[in-house]
Amino acid sequence: AGTRTRSALPEADMVPLLLLPLLWRGSLQQLPGYELRVQESVTVFEGLCVHVPCSFSYPRSSWSSSSKFYTYWYRDGDNTAYDAPVASSNYNKTVKRETQVRFLLPDPRTNDCSLHIRDARRSDTGRYFFRVERYKSQGYSYLYKMLDLQVTAFLTEKPHIHIWEPLESGHSTQLACSLPGACKGGRPLTFSWAGAAVDSLDPQTLRSSVLTFTPRPRDHGTSLTCQVKREWPQLTTQRTIRLNVAYAPGNLTIGVSYRNDPGRTTSLLILEGVALRLLCEADSNPPAELSWFQGPPGLNATPISSTAILELPRVGPAQEGEFTCQAWHPLGSQSVSLNLSVFYAPGNLTIGVSFRNDTAFKNLQTTSLTILEGEDLRLHCEADSNPPAELSWFQGSPGLNATPISSTAILELPRVGPAQEGEFTCQARHPLGSHSVSLNLSVVYPPQLLGPSCSWEDQDLRCSCSSRAQPAPSLRWRLGAGLLEGNHGNASHVVTSSSEGPWTYSSLSLCQELSSDLRLSCEAWNVHGTQSISVLLLPGKTVPQAGVVPVALGGAGAMALLSLCLCLISVYIVKARRRQAAGRPKVTNDEDPVMGTVTRGSQEKLGPDRPPDQAPPTKDAPPSGEQQELYYANLSFYEMKTREPQNLEATSSPEYSEIK
């Protein structure tokens, strides 16, 4: 009993003798209800600390709960009855002198058998077993599982650097450096920090195991080193990390690549059809989400690309404008724009028109335009090109050295007439090529009558009438209540009509006896208006040779004045016949004077392209709807002989009357 034993026998005198063989056997293997959970091998560097977690269990039913409970750690080979433990929870039991204050045990009531070793020494190397006891009653040693402690002079561990929260630019943060095995009560350690991010800090701050600093964007990716030193036994170890600093996008740039030439810019002039690649780069951590927009990005705008590279295979006018790269980041977003100008030749050349006083232009969908004579017309030429093309207007096709009628985009035609009819061409001149577009202008206008003119040929009265209009007018004759039109004839009359360009001609031959006061009219009409001129036939004696029928112009609204004219002319004729009856010689044939014409409708002055052998009217007609200010009537007699007046009164009689 006095020798060292490895017995796990309970040392209480009250243990029944029948249990002794069973307890002895349990010393070499685990008994039911006894269990120890501990790391079997632990290595610690000399002078440092180590904490060995441990927990145990025992059959409480076989143990008395009335006495105090203690836990111990012993060196392997020690006799628990005579040798001192290396660690004890019993303050009344002395531990080995070399382990005092260095080997510590927690409160045994929590079934915690963890062993905490401070300032480890090489002499501490060895095997240790755990034992539990009831005061003066029971005890048990867990010999089946022991702790193997190794104390080495070669440190393999490096300091640990703990970052409390993610590093964010502009926000103060703390970093802690610790050496595994270092603890209170161990040998003193010296800490120091080094790195570009902390070079500007107070040196005193860098000698603490806890470092407080505010990272910057430029600190991202830099090295930070924590060094730990101990004087004896001499120890130096360190760990280096790379800082991961989060910061919002900055230095956002756009790279341009075309024709295999890279570059960076915020504006670009490029030829149409060139392939273009735009590269967006943002300096941020973590990397920002890059997106491309055509134009400024709106609140809910959809990007045209969600990658850093935007491909534009063939640049054209549709791509001209602003392209924006947006860098989205949790710490903030940023955007940068590129203004793209496409250099291209004129295209989509169009002509817009504006009538009267309308300032807005409407684009023509065709290459022809019909306009009423006298209208004000403005033509606007528009060419899509960059830089803008030089625009010029030509009447007709532009020749090699042709002079333009206008060197601006707008061509003014104040009062369009037949002289403006034809082709108008807009030419767009550009360094990359020229382009032109033409408009065929057709001028339409109401009929303009020339005539009628009547004369005697043999025994027939032949009248002719012509009219100019666009589209070409139609002509017809009215003889009294009868309507004569087209090309036809009978025993009493023959009508012949023809057209050439804007002119229409018609002639009438009357072979019948003319009644008194017979009205003959020539009418011209088209879709834009109607005009007519009437001739009043006053039959008398037969004219021996052809005579010209006098004509006077009148307005359709001057019927009252016409009546007055007819009355005065009748007085004149009566006087003439009285003189003839008084002794004037008779002519060979009966004279049949024809006089008086009245105009109805509107008549305008004809242009220089009037038909041949047709005299122009004596005066321009007033605009439609206006009344003429002056009216004339005259009467002519052919082959009449003069005679001496019978008296002074007859001599002083007027030969004609003027009506104003």
3-state SS of 170-233 is CCCEEEEEECCCCCCCCCCCEEEEEECCCCCCCCCHHHCCEEEECCCHHHCCCEEEEEEEECCC
Q: Are 151 and 46 in contact (CB under 8 A)?
A: yes
Tell me the CATH architecture of domain 160-243. Answer: Sandwich (2.60)
pLDDT attached to residue 563: 53
Predicted confidence band at 568 (pLDDT cuts at 50, 70, 90)?
low
Give, as one character, the DSSP assignment of residue 628: P
Identify the CA nearest to 156 among candidates 237, 40, 241. 237
Residue 257 has pLDDT above 60, yes or no: yes
Could you give the CA distance from residue 55 to residue 37 in angstroms, rounded to a whole number?
A: 5
Could you give the CA distance from residue 468 to residue 502 in angstroms, rounded to a whole number?
A: 5
Long-range pairs of 515-520 with CB within 8 A, sequence gap ≥ 24:
515/480, 515/539, 518/479, 518/480, 519/478, 519/479, 519/480, 520/452, 520/454, 520/463, 520/477, 520/478, 520/479
Residue 137: HSE in the Cβ half-sphere, 13 Å Cα cutoff: 11
Residue 557 has pLDDT above 60, yes or no: no
Identify the CA nearest to 286 among candidates 239, 231, 247. 247
Predicted confidence band at 558 (pLDDT cuts at 50, 70, 90)?
very low
Q: Are 23 and 10 in contact (CB under 8 A)?
A: yes
C-alpha distances (whole Å) from 401 to each of 393, 485, 584 are 13, 51, 74
Predicted confidence band at 100 (pLDDT cuts at 50, 70, 90)?
very high
Residue 641 has pLDDT above 80, yes or no: no
72 by Cβ neighbours in 10 Å (0-12 / 13-18 / 19+) ranks as: buried
Identify the CA nearest to 508 among candidates 469, 460, 448. 460
Identify the CA nearest to 246 among candidates 166, 189, 186. 166
pTM, two decimals, is: 0.50
C-alpha distances (whole Å) from 552 to each of 536, 559, 625, 633 are 10, 14, 19, 6
C-alpha distances (whole Å) from 517 to each of 480, 566, 594 are 9, 11, 10
How do residues 46-92 score in pLDDT, each as one tens digit?
Answer: 888 999 999 998 887 766 666 678 999 999 999 998 999 999 999 88
| Residue 648 φ/ψ, nearest 5 degrees | -65, -30
C-alpha distances (whole Å) from 415 to each of 85, 373, 430, 608, 609 are 128, 7, 32, 18, 19
359 by Cβ neighbours in 10 Å (0-12 / 13-18 / 19+) ranks as: exposed
Strands in 286-333 per DSSP E: 289-294, 309-312, 321-328
Q: How confident is the prediction for the chain on average, in pLDDT?
A: 77
Could you give the CA distance from residue 543 to residue 587 in angstroms, rounded to a whole number?
A: 9
Q: Are 352 and 363 in contact (CB under 8 A)?
A: yes
Identity of residue 322: E
Three-class SS of residue 423? strand
Cα end-to-end distance, the chain, whole Å: 174
Tell me the CATH architecture of domain 17-152. Answer: Sandwich (2.60)
Residues belonging to the chain: 660
pLDDT attached to residue 572: 55
Mean pLDDT of 607-617: 45
Least confident span in 14-18, 138-142, 327-331: 14-18
Q: Which CATH class is domain 446-601?
A: mainly beta
Mean pLDDT of 241-266: 82
Q: Are 93 and 131 in contact (CB under 8 A)?
A: no
Could you give the CA distance from residue 140 to residue 162 in angstroms, rounded to a whole number?
A: 42
Residue 627 has pLDDT above 70, yes or no: no
pLDDT attached to residue 549: 40
Q: Are 460 and 479 in contact (CB under 8 A)?
A: no
Identify the CA nearest to 252 among candidates 289, 300, 222, 303. 289
Q: Which helix (H) or strand (E) holds 101?
A: none
Identify the CA nearest to 7 among candidates 74, 94, 69, 89. 74
Mean pLDDT of 122-138: 88
Q: Where are the domains of the chain?
A: 17-152, 160-243, 291-433, 446-601
Give, as one character, the DSSP assignment of residue 108: G
Q: Of 426 and 487, which is predicted with more confidence? A: 426
Could you give the CA distance from residue 39 to residue 52 in angstroms, rounded to a whole number?
A: 7
Neighbouring residues of 366: CB distance < 8 A, sequence distance ≥ 6: none
